[in-house]
Amino acid sequence: MKTTDTEQAAPPPNFIRNIVANDLKENKYDGRVVTRFPPEPNGYLHIGHAKSICLNFGIAAENKGGICNLRFDDTDPSKEEIEYVESIKSDVRWLGFDWGERQFFASDYFEKLYKYAMQLIKEGKAYVDSLSAQEIREYRGTLTEPGRESAYRDRSVEENMDLFTRMRAGEFKDGAHVLRAKIDMASPNMLLRDPTLYRIKHVPHYRTGDKWCIYPMYDFTHCLSDSIEGITHSICTLEFEINRQLYDWVLDALNVYHPQQIEFARLNISYTVLSKRKLIELVEGGHVTGWDDPRMLTISGLRRRGYTPASIRNFCERIGVAKRDSMVDVALLEYSAREDLNKHAPRVMAVLRPLKVVIDNYPEDKEEELEGENNPEDPKAGSRKIPFTRVLYIEQEDFMEDPPKKFFRLAPGREVRLKHAYYIKCVNVVKDEQTDEVVEVHCTYDPKTRGGWSEDGRKVKGTLHWVSAAHALKAEVRLYDHLFLKENPGDEKTGSDFKTYLNPNSLESLTSCMVEPSLAVAVPGSRYQFLRQGYFCVDSKDSSSNALVFNRTVTLRDTWAKIQRSRKK
Length of the chain measured in residues = 569
Piece of 33-41, 157-165, 377-385, 450-458 that binds ligand ATP (CB under 6 A): 33-41
Is 107 a binding residue for ligand ATP by CB under 6 A? The answer is: no
Piece of 6-14, 34-42, 94-102, 191-199 that binds ligand ATP (CB under 6 A): 34-42
Interacting residue with ligand ATP among 275, 526, 559, 564 (CB under 6 A):
275
Is 237 a binding residue for ligand ATP by CB under 6 A? The answer is: yes
Q: Is 266 a catalytic residue?
A: yes
CA end-to-end span of the chain: 32
CB of 39 to ligand ATP, least distance (A): 4
DSSP state of 290: S
Piece of 27-35, 271-279, 291-299, 532-540 that binds ligand ATP (CB under 6 A): 271-279
Is 274 a binding residue for ligand ATP by CB under 6 A? The answer is: yes
Cβ 384 vs Cβ 374: under 8 Å = yes
Is 276 a binding residue for ligand ATP by CB under 6 A? The answer is: yes
- Among residue numbers 183 through 222, which ones bind ligand ATP (CB under 6 A)? none
Is 227 a binding residue for ligand ATP by CB under 6 A? The answer is: no
Interacting residue with ligand ATP among 23, 40, 184, 368 (CB under 6 A):
40
CB closer to ligand ATP, 368 vs 491: 491
Q: How far apart are CA 43 and CA 35, in angstroms?
A: 22
Q: Is 532 a catalytic residue?
A: no
Residue 39 contact, options ligand ATP, Mg ion, none, Cβ 5-8 Å cut-off depending on partner type: ligand ATP
What is the sign of the dihedral through the CA atoms of 307, 311, 312 and 315? Answer: negative
Is 313 a binding residue for ligand ATP by CB under 6 A? The answer is: no
Q: Which entry of 51, 71, 180, 276 is annotated as an active-site residue? A: 276
Residue 299 Ramachandran class (φ > 0 left, ψ -120 to 50 alpha, else beta): alpha
CB of 509 to Mg ion, least distance (A): 35
Residue 306 contact, options ligand ATP, Mg ion, none, Cβ 5-8 Å cut-off depending on partner type: none
Q: How far apart are CA 108 and CA 104, in angstroms?
A: 7
Q: Is 244 a catalytic residue?
A: no
Q: Which entry of 71, 182, 193, 266 is annotated as an active-site residue? A: 266
Q: Which entry of 17, 32, 40, 89 is annotated as an active-site residue? A: 40
DSSP state of 298: B
Quickly count: other Cβ atoms within 10 Å of residue 430's Cβ: 12
Q: How far apart are CA 506 and CA 508, in angstroms?
A: 7
CB closer to ligand ATP, 276 vs 482: 276
Q: How far apart are CA 92 and CA 299, in angstroms?
A: 9
72: exposed, middle or buried (Cβ count in 10 Å: 0-12, 13-18, 19+): buried
Binding site for Mg ion (CB under 5 A): 40
E strands within 75-188?
Answer: 103-105, 126-129, 178-181
CB closer to ligand ATP, 84 vs 198: 84
Q: How far apart are CA 71 and CA 99, in angstroms?
A: 10
Piece of 246-254, 270-278, 407-415, 455-463 that binds ligand ATP (CB under 6 A): 270-278
CB closer to ligand ATP, 20 vs 359: 20
CA angle at 489 for the pair 486 and 491, rounded to the nearest 5°:
125
User: Of all residues in this chain, which one has the CB nearest to ligand ATP in the complex?
Assistant: 48
Q: How far apart are CA 528 and CA 348, in angstroms?
A: 7
Give the type of residue at 489.
P
Interacting residue with ligand ATP among 29, 34, 38, 217 (CB under 6 A):
38
Beta strands 415-418; 423-431: pairing state:
antiparallel
Nearest to 128 by CA among 137, 139, 120: 120
Cβ 480 vs Cβ 506: under 8 Å = yes
Interacting residue with ligand ATP among 16, 20, 34, 39 (CB under 6 A):
39
DSSP state of 53: H
Please list, in sequence order, all residues whose beta carbon lies within 8 angstroms of the beta carbon of residue 294, skipping any fewer than 6 positions away.
301, 304, 305, 306, 478, 480, 539, 551
Residue 237 contact, options ligand ATP, Mg ion, none, Cβ 5-8 Å cut-off depending on partner type: ligand ATP
Piece of 10-18, 174-182, 267-275, 525-533 that binds ligand ATP (CB under 6 A): 267-275
Residue 49 contact, options Mg ion, ligand ATP, none, Cβ 5-8 Å cut-off depending on partner type: ligand ATP
Give catalytic residues, as residue numbers.
Answer: 40, 266, 276
Residues within the interface to ligand ATP (CB under 6 A): 38-40, 48-49, 51-52, 236-237, 266-267, 274-277
